[in-house]
Amino acid sequence: MNKLGNYVLGKWINGEGEGQALYNAVNGDIINYASTKGLDFGAILEYGRKKGSASLSKYNFHERGRMLRALALHLRNHLDKFYEISYKTGATKADSWIDIEGGIGNLFSYASLRRKFPNERFCLDGEPHMLGKGGTFMAQHILVPKEGVAIHINAFNFPVWGMLEKIAVNLLAGVAAVVKPATITSYLTEAVVREIINSAILPEGSLQLICGSAGDILDHVTAQDVVTFTGSASTGIKLKSNPHILASNTPFNMEADSLNSIVLGDDVIPEMPEWNIFIKEVRREMTVKAGQKCTAIRRIFVPENRLEDVYIALGKALSQTHIGNPLNEKVRMGSLAGQEQRNEVKAQVQKLLAGSQIVYGSLDSVELIDADAKKGAFMSPLLLMNETPFTSEAVHEVEAFGPVSTLMPYKTLDEATQLSKKGKGSLVCSIVTADYDKASEFVLGAATHHGRILVLNAECEKESTGYGSPLPLLVHGGPGRAGGGEEMGGVRGVKHYMQRVAVQGSPSVVTAITHVYQPGAITNENEKHPFRKYFEELEIGDSLVTAKRTVTEADIVNFANVSWDHFYAHTDHTSLEGTIFEKPVAHGYFIMSAAAGLFVDAKKGPVLLNYGIEEMRFTKPVYAGTTIGVRLTVKEKIDQEKREPTDVAKGIVKWLVEVTDQINELVAIGTILTMVKKKNQD
């Protein structure tokens, strides 16, 4: 008997007993058994906390990001193996590409996201807040990795993507994961985890896998853990209501299947490119993964005078979709994940048929290529029509999680907006329109009930990732029925696995804790110019107070001529009445240029180049006769990795530039960045 392994407590363990049989969705053969009987779920979670998260949290964001990149590269070397297994889930090559390579793409995306974080184990969150008038008391929010584990309970439809899109986020945050995929397709998840473990890239305990029942795992959660769930809303509510989750206030992120919708704008006619875009998008979302997508289109809203044209066009498009064995090159739609799933979809369709009718497809038969309908879990795409969407409740409440969508009419765009909201919360909706005003009206009207809104037209068609493609850097979730959670979301997603704490104290204390200089903190001044120091030698708070220079009228005139900036406030004495200026004022950019002239050390040294300016404010007018001076302070250091062995070893230094006048009042402040060479070139 071929039984799937559970990777827990640092080793592969088979559950006790025969377990649950897992079937090939295409031909019905038994391919594996899965069992978690006998596993100690409390010990599994504690191992993840004490071994996995404890190890991960010692690495900084950049080191964790490089682990993700190495893992992605490793998994790409085993694509053929993953594809071969994926076909058994009923997925076509295109379906498998989304699942497998899309999942690996998430690893690459979050690996690159490391550059949005500091070279630290923690990060700052938001701006500092000065709490005292004298400048001696302040606060700064910081984020640190939680000490628990991320428990991912995933759906069956994307056994690879569903895992990788979640663990990429928690691993970058510095938190270990326990993954519980849906049992029916867990054999593909197991194959990927075996390669992850074989790679030895992640610290031990960073990833554990459970193939089978989750048992009493949620009875062992703590306040430091994070639970994510993907699946049906009813199951999600049941899990979220676990007494231990409620008692510990354990964060629970739910991404539930929702009744997503698409709207055809009433400006679109068959002769427009947007018409074909609409038909193509609906057909794709009905047939990709045989409609087993949490983002699939379930409700289609079209102007009532276009209803017949749309269902005829969709029928023609769907009839060109060949269904059958995913290994056959002609096939464009495979099977559902299993016979039980097909039976569930048909049962849900029967509920929908109480108020709708089938206008394309058959509930009882399907024409196949190179496959047996009795053995495999195949199903015809079904396009339903409901002509009374405001009085029919089932179409807005019942989801058939397969190749099923319902077409409905609307009279006005406001009606379409209201109909989209009747799903009581969706992951995604879309409008296809060439009219910017209609797009704006719909988006702003429907935004409260959707996690993502895609506006499709001919301008973005070629580059659009499509209706059903959640992206790593965007939030994937939605309100209400969709679960009320957020997944991925780039930096936002990483913060879900971190604890936010407000740190209060003196600027010097906060500087010492955060490794970012806070104005008013103690500075370090010595005879050696900071531009003469290598990256390793510079310390946060290293500072230089420059000599002073007096701004002249000639400076203002000359800068205007050099820059071609002849804005009236700098050059026209006669136009200042009614303004805030008493006389022609120096250009702000001249002040910063003059400041650079005061603090720059001209000799060749460790500073390689000016990397840019992040912040700049001009706080007080500078007139001819004003004498300015500068304080230059090391604000933050960002290490840079070598992309090639021959690259110069270097880092980015952020400098706080404070420009004051002769009465020591601030006239300009900014943050400049320089690229600084390292002394050690290894």
CB distance 117 to 62 below 8 Å: yes
**Residue 527 has what pLDDT?**
86
Phi-psi region of 513 (alpha: psi -120 to 50; beta: other; left: phi over 0): alpha
Average pLDDT, the chain: 93
DSSP string, 436-460: HHHHHHHHHHHGGGEEEEEEE-TTT
Q: How far apart are CA 639 and CA 652, in angstroms?
A: 6
Is 255 catalytic? The answer is yes
Both tokens of residue 615? 């912040």
Q: Please state the rounded mean pLDDT for residues 628-649.
A: 91
Amino acid at 508: S
Among residues 120, 165, 190, 255, the one annotated as catalytic is: 255
Over residues 15-31, the pLDDT tens digits come to 888 889 999 999 999 99
Q: How far apart are CA 461 and CA 314, in angstroms?
A: 19
Q: How far apart are CA 285 and CA 469, in angstroms?
A: 10
Q: How far apart are CA 107 and CA 121, in angstroms?
A: 19
Q: Please state the rounded mean pLDDT for residues 464-473.
A: 83
Over residues 82-91, the pLDDT tens digits come to 999 999 999 9
217, with CB counted inside 10 A (0-12, 13-18, 19+), is buried
Question: What is the band of 1 on the pLDDT scale with cuts at 50, 70, 90?
Answer: low
Question: What is the band of 2 on the pLDDT scale with cuts at 50, 70, 90?
Answer: confident
- Report in angstroms the alpha-carbon separations of 40 from 8, 46, 279, 330, 558: 9, 10, 51, 47, 77
498, with CB counted inside 10 A (0-12, 13-18, 19+), is buried
Q: Which residues pair with 432 in a beta bridge?
A: 264, 456
Is 281 catalytic? The answer is no
CB distance 553 to 586 below 8 Å: no
Q: Please state the rounded mean pLDDT for residues 290-299.
A: 93
Distance of CA 245 to the CA centre of its chain: 25
pTM of the model: 0.91
Among residues 120, 190, 274, 294, the one annotated as catalytic is: 294
Over residues 161-205, the pLDDT tens digits come to 999 999 999 999 999 999 999 999 999 999 999 999 999 999 999
Q: Which residues pair with 611 in a beta bridge?
A: none
**Residue 488 has what pLDDT?**
81
Both tokens of residue 361? 């497809």
Q: Please state the rounded mean pLDDT for residues 513-521.
A: 93
CB distance 395 to 386 below 8 Å: yes
Residue 223: closest CA among 45, 476, 480: 45
CA angle 160, 110, 188 (to 5 degrees): 10
Backbone angles phi, psi at 636, to 5 degrees: -160, 150
Question: What is the band of 236 on the pLDDT scale with cuts at 50, 70, 90?
Answer: confident
Q: Name the least confident of 75-79, 539-543, 551-555, 611-615.
A: 611-615
On the question of pLDDT at 258 being above 70, the answer is: yes
Q: Which residues pair with 630 in a beta bridge?
A: 659
Q: How far apart are CA 211 and CA 20, in angstroms?
A: 10
Residue 244: closest CA among 262, 223, 226: 223
Over residues 310-358, the pLDDT tens digits come to 999 999 999 999 999 999 999 999 999 999 999 999 999 999 999 999 9
CB distance 432 to 302 below 8 Å: no
Tell me the domains of the chain and their CATH numbers.
Answer: 40-122+144-256 (3.40.605.10), 261-471 (3.40.309.10), 523-677 (3.10.129.10)
Q: Please state the rounded mean pLDDT for residues 549-554.
A: 95
Question: What is the band of 478 on the pLDDT scale with cuts at 50, 70, 90?
Answer: confident
334: helix, strand or coil: coil
Over residues 97-128, the pLDDT tens digits come to 999 999 999 999 999 999 999 989 999 999 99
Over residues 387-403, the pLDDT tens digits come to 999 999 999 999 999 99
